[in-house]
Amino acid sequence: MATTRPRLVLGGTSSGAGKTTLTVGLMAALAKRGMSVQGFKVGPDYIDPTFHTAATGRISRNLDTWMMEPSSMKEIFWRASEGADISLIEGVMGFYDGKDPKSNRGSTAEIGMLLDAPVILIVDIKAMARSAAAIVKGFQLLEPAVNIAGVIANRAGSANHFQLVKTAIEQECGVPVIGYLPHDPAITAPERHLGLVPAVERGELQPWLDLLAEKVAATVDLDQLLTITEQHASFDKPEPILFTKRDNEGLEPVTIAVARDSAFHFYYQENFELLEAYGAKLHFFSPLAGELPPADADGLYIGGGFPEEFAARLEEQVNVRHVLKSMIEGGLPTFAECGGYMFLCEAIHDRAGNRYEMLGIVNNEVKMQTKLAALGYREAVALADSILLAAGETARGHEFHYSSLVHELEHDHAYEVSGLRGRKKEGFAQGNVLAGYTHLHFASNPGMVQRWLSHCREWKRTREESVT
């Protein structure tokens, strides 16, 4: 069934070309026109979707063809874009960069082709003129199936500089150059420092969003951009795979307590929605604010974030730590990833060497370091039965953190994970607890959701029987 889903992919010639600045600026400018804008980010990143959400007021989603099947990616796009006037899809790295240097797998180009979406190529034109046309021509020729429908220039030295580039590209490449952004540090996307997400949540970046919207509206032809999307708005509704109609009758409803605040905020929205689709009710609480999960919670989910930035405050929440530890040790099915994994350890050491007490569920401590400890896609193979995976089952996700464990592991690992640097064992799997540095995307294996909720229902029955 064909319908309309106006959409546009914003791809860069490389990392640092200005994708985030221009994408967020376009979102903010179109939102100021009164349009409903849906944001998407190619790849596993959590930070850029936070910018998108701040600019549009709609929860941004991740589109990924490695962590999930292309059919699932299309379904996520379809669902999230419902009711939006336009969807803007920010690319990752360079336009053709993905999982494999020999193919388009996992790249922005692949997403663009799968969604049959027009592409606006963002080109950093600093210190070049006609040469910019050679760059665009190369991107057109590498994959003819890609629909590069326009170009936006970034870091233009002046309006005259932009005109030189525009003339060359339009003559040699046959696509319109619909605008530019000047070289201006004031409109560059803020660094992704550890306090960025809390700053967004507090509204501290609103002046930057307003300025960016103003600058983009002044030098980018928004009407021409909208015309491009309208010319390619038709989209066939995908067959539902992840979110099919299910009969949950006869299954007990369960409540999953979800830690969500400035310390724990890295979650895939689809993970939440898949839990709800299989019969869970989500109860959000803030450990930082001293909030507790409901006493009758049937499961606990502690996602990633920056607990190290709030370690002192988390340590001060003695009652929260005591109650959570008691509930987990009492049998509450608990899944924690990355920042949540750190929270479950005995302590966090910050970069200054200060030590802060955490929950003490995992018999280890973590320390922060200045260098990145791990980054990249991960395929996780369960080494033993856990609350999410049976031994031998696989799930996909990614790993990104600056912390490392202080001691050698003295417990059973959760997974064997593989990435670009080979295989390693990681995580913690013991009884009712599964934790690790790897962020798992439930769309990679929805059976994880069913398995977890079955453990939650079993725990609920056990708890209810114990009080009767």
What angle is formed at CA 44 by the lines to CA 39 and CA 47, rounded to 5 degrees?
60
Task: Provide the b/e sequence for 283-297 (b: ≥16 CB within 10 Å).
Answer: bebbbbeebbbeeeb
State the CB neighbour count (10 A cutoff) for residue 164: 17
What b/e readout covers 167-188, taking b as 16+ CB neighbours within 10 angstroms? ebbeeebebbbbbbbbbeeebb
Cα 327 to Cα 257: distance, rounded to the nearest angstrom: 11
Instruction: Given the residues 173, 338, 345, 456, select the one marked as catalytic.
Output: 338
**Structure-derived torsion over alpha carbons of residues 17, 9, 219, 29, reported in degrees to the nearest 10:** -120
Q: How far apart are CA 453 and CA 386, in angstroms?
A: 12
Q: Residue 437: phi, psi to the nearest 5?
A: -75, -25
From residue 154, alpha-carbon distances to 176, 182, 219, 451 in Å are 15, 6, 11, 48
Sorted by sequence, the CB contacts under 8 Å of residue 20 that are 6+ apart come out as 48, 51, 90, 189
Q: Calculate the alpha carbon distances from 175 to 7, 118, 149, 222 in Å.
A: 18, 12, 6, 16
The residues that bridge with 380 in the sheet, in sequence order, are: 395, 417
CA proximity to 207, closest of 187, 226, 235: 187
Q: Which residue has the tokens 């999307």?
A: 229
**Closest-CA residue to 333 (of 467, 452, 466):** 452
From residue 44, give the alpha-carbon distance in Å to each of 68, 92, 163, 216.
11, 9, 36, 27
Q: At what angle do helices 19-32 and 47-56 cross, to 10 degrees?
A: 20
The neighbour count for residue 201, using CB atoms within 10 Å, is: 15
Rounded distance between C-alpha atoms, residue 186 and residue 219, angstroms: 15
CA dihedral 460, 241, 60, 272 (to 10 degrees): 0
Smallest Cα–Cα separation from 120: which of 2, 229, 270, 247? 229
Token pair for residue 388?
């999410």
What would the two tokens of residue 123 be? 């080109």
Catalytic, 173? Answer: no
* Residues with catalytic roles: 338
